[in-house]
Structure 1
Amino acid sequence: MTTPLELQSLAVEIAREAGELAAHRRREGVNIAATKSALADIVTEADREVEELVRRRLHEARPGDGFLGEESGGADSETGLTWVVDPIDGTVNYAYGIPAYAVSIAAVQGSADPATWQALAGAVFNPAIDELFVAAHGEGARLVSSIEGERALRVAAEAPAAGALVGTGFGYDPATHAAALDQLATVMPIARDLRRIGAASLDLTAVAAGRLDAYYERGLHPWDMAAGSLIVAEAGGRFAWIPGHPSGRAMTIAATPALFPRLSEILSA
Structure 2
Amino acid sequence: MTGAVSSDLLALARTIALEAGALAFRRRAEGVNIAASKSSPEDVVTDADREVELLIRARLAEARPDDGFYGEESEASAGSSGLTWVVDPIDGTVNYLYGIPHYAVSIGVVEGDPTPSTWTALAGAVINPALGELYTAVAGEGSFLNDRRLRVKTGVPLSLALAGTGFGYEATRRVWQAEVVQGLIGEVRDIRRMGAASLDLCSVATGRLDLYYERGLHPWDHAAGGLVASEAGARVGGFGAEAEGKDLLIAAAPDLFATFEPLLAGLFARFAKE
Shorter-chain TM-score: which interval?
over 0.9
Structure 1 spans left out of the alignment, 5+ residues: 145-149
Residue aligning to 1:198 = 195
Residue aligning to 1:132 = 134
Could you tell me how far apart the structure 1 residues matched to 2:183 and 2:10 are? 38
Of 18-27 and 250-259, deviating more is: 250-259
Could you tell me how far apart the structure 2 residues matched to 1:26 and 1:176 are? 29
Residues 121, 139 of structure 2: 8 Å contact kept:
yes
Residue aligning to 1:172 = 169
Superimposed CA distance per residue, residues 75-94 of structure 1 (whole angstroms, 9 cap, x where no aligned partner) = 00200000000000000000
Residue aligning to 1:147 = none
Residues 167, 195 of structure 1: 8 Å contact kept:
yes
Structure 1 residue 253 displacement after superposition? 0.6
Could you tell me how far apart the structure 2 residues matched to 1:249 and 1:111 are? 15
Could you tell me how far apart the structure 2 residues matched to 1:53 and 1:241 are? 33
Residue aligning to 1:211 = 208
Residues 68, 84 of structure 1: 8 Å contact kept:
yes
Of 199-208 and 3-12, deviating more is: 3-12
Structure (1 or 2) with the greater helix fraction:
2
Residues 114, 241 of structure 1: 8 Å contact kept:
no
Instruction: Give the partner amino acid of 1:262.
Output: T
Could you tell me how far apart the structure 2 residues matched to 1:205 and 1:25 are? 24
RMSD: 1.8
Instruction: Give the partner amino acid of 1:260.
Output: F
Residue aligning to 2:272 = none
Structure 1 residue 188 displacement after superposition? 2.0
Q: Does 1:86 align with 2:67?
A: no
Superimposed CA distance per residue, residues 130-153 of structure 1 (whole angstroms, 9 cap, x where no aligned partner) = 000000000000001xxxxx2100
Structure 1 residue 249 displacement after superposition? 4.9
Structure 1 residues 189 and 208, CA gap change in structure 2 (3 angstroms)? same
Q: TM-score, normalised by structure 1?
A: 0.93
Superimposed CA distance per residue, residues 200-239 of structure 1 (whole angstroms, 9 cap, x where no aligned partner) = 0010000000110000011000000000110011000110
Residues 35, 42 of structure 1: 8 Å contact kept:
yes
Of 159-168 and 222-231, deviating more is: 159-168
Structure 1 residues 103-142: aligned runs within 5 Å? 103-142=105-144
> Secondary structure, in 3 states, of the residue corresponding to 1:71?
coil
The structure 1 segments of at least 4 consecutive aligned residues displaced by more than 4 Å after TM superposition are none
Structure 1 residue 65 displacement after superposition? 0.2
Structure 1 residues 50 and 188, CA gap change in structure 2 (3 angstroms)? same
Residue aligning to 2:11 = 9
> Percent same amino acid at aligned positions?
56
Superimposed CA distance per residue, residues 87-142 of structure 1 (whole angstroms, 9 cap, x where no aligned partner) = 00000000110000000000100011111000000000000010000000000000
Q: Does 1:23 align with 2:25?
A: yes
Instruction: Give the partner amino acid of 2:12.
Output: L
Could you tell me how far apart the structure 2 residues matched to 1:154 and 1:96 are? 32
Q: TM-score, normalised by structure 2?
A: 0.92
> Secondary structure, in 3 states, of the residue corresponding to 2:184?
helix
Residue aligning to 1:225 = 222
Structure 1 residues 169 and 161, CA gap change in structure 2 (3 angstroms)? closer
